[in-house]
Homo-oligomer: A and B are copies of this chain.
Amino acid sequence: MDADWDDLKTVLALVRHGTLAAAGADLGVSYTTVARRVQRAEQALGEKLFERLADGYRPTDTARLVADYAHRMESEQTTLLRKIQGRDRRLSGKLVITAPQLLIGPYLAPVLDQFTRIHPAVDLQIRATNDLLDLNRREADLAIRIHDSPGDALIGVRLCAQQRASFASTEAAKRIERDPAAPIPWLVFADRPEIPKAAQDRCPNGRVRMVFDDMAALLGAAQAGLGVVRIPFFLGRSTPWLVQVPFLPPEPYPDVWAVAYDDIWRSAKVAAFRTLLVPHFRARRQDFVA
């Protein structure tokens, strides 16, 4: 009664995904191999781990127990890999940065350009996403996030404080200035589909004209003059044909952070990147507030 560690890993993947094919894809092997390894694990442990059903493998209680401990082993492994990576003093190899899509173009690109010139041996990869990538699973080494705090077990530095304000196309902004009493058509983002309170106080005639679930589309609509959007200063200022609607008040917005796991934060590549990143944002901090 002793099991191959990779077989335990396979059981974990199968419990997670439910089907041989999905587990195999996760592990990077064919589903046939998953089936064989599970069979071997069942034999080694002397316990039935799955019920073979037409729509997938259903884990038994024992399999859940195995998966639980395999998950702990996996955690140990990822921590190990982080520590090794953090001890890496070489300025070569892969470095994965993740950042909000719309921050990359106007603000991160110069840093990236400079970094690759100084450290050509580093294989720099950018993951542009608004989702929070799981740094623990090493989906990225360093994350630039717009959040109130660095979060869980992460270490980080605040790159700059932020505010947001109302922006609209030049013509739309002029129209509002000419007739402040007219109803303002708001374009809002899906996660908070209401009109900001401070703006509503100033202009009670506001109404939500459309709701978007994509920031780029929202900006496009604003550029086309469809209405007023409430976005961070950096975004409004770096988007062509948008101007701030002056008398609508700015309001607080989460700050910009650079965060990473403690070990990786101190690694050579991340440290080198930070020496460029932090001054760059600090020099432009006035772009992010009123």
A interface residues with partner B (beta carbon < 8 Å): 1-6, 8-9, 45-47, 62, 65-66, 69-70, 72-73, 76-77, 79-81, 83-85, 87-88, 93-94, 138
Contacts and interface: CB of A to CB of B under 8 A. Distances in A.
A33 to B, nearest CB: 14
B84 A62 contact: yes
14 contacts: A1-B85, A1-B138, A5-B9, A5-B73, A5-B77, A8-B80, A46-B93, A65-B84, A69-B76, A69-B77, A69-B79, A69-B80, A70-B80, A73-B76
B84 A45 contact: yes
Query: Which of A80, A85, A88 has the most B CB atoms < 10 Å from its CB?
Result: A80
- Copies of this protein in the assembly total 2
A46 to B, nearest CB: 7
A77 B12 CA distance: 13
A5 B75 CA distance: 12
Nearest to A69: B80
A160 B84 CA distance: 52
Contacts of A62: 84, 87
A59 to B, nearest CB: 14
Query: Which of A3, A4, A9, A84 has the most B CB atoms < 10 Å from its CB?
Result: A84
A5 to B, nearest CB: 4
A88 B47 CA distance: 9
Given A1-B81, A69-B76, A70-B80, 6 more contacts: A4-B6, A62-B87, A65-B84, A65-B87, A69-B80, A72-B76
Contacts of A83: 65, 69
Contacts of A84: 45, 47, 62, 65-66
Contacts of A85: 1
A65 B47 contact: no
Given A6-B6, A9-B5, A80 B66 contact: yes
Contacts of A6: 4-6
Contacts of A45: 81, 84
Contacts of A70: 80
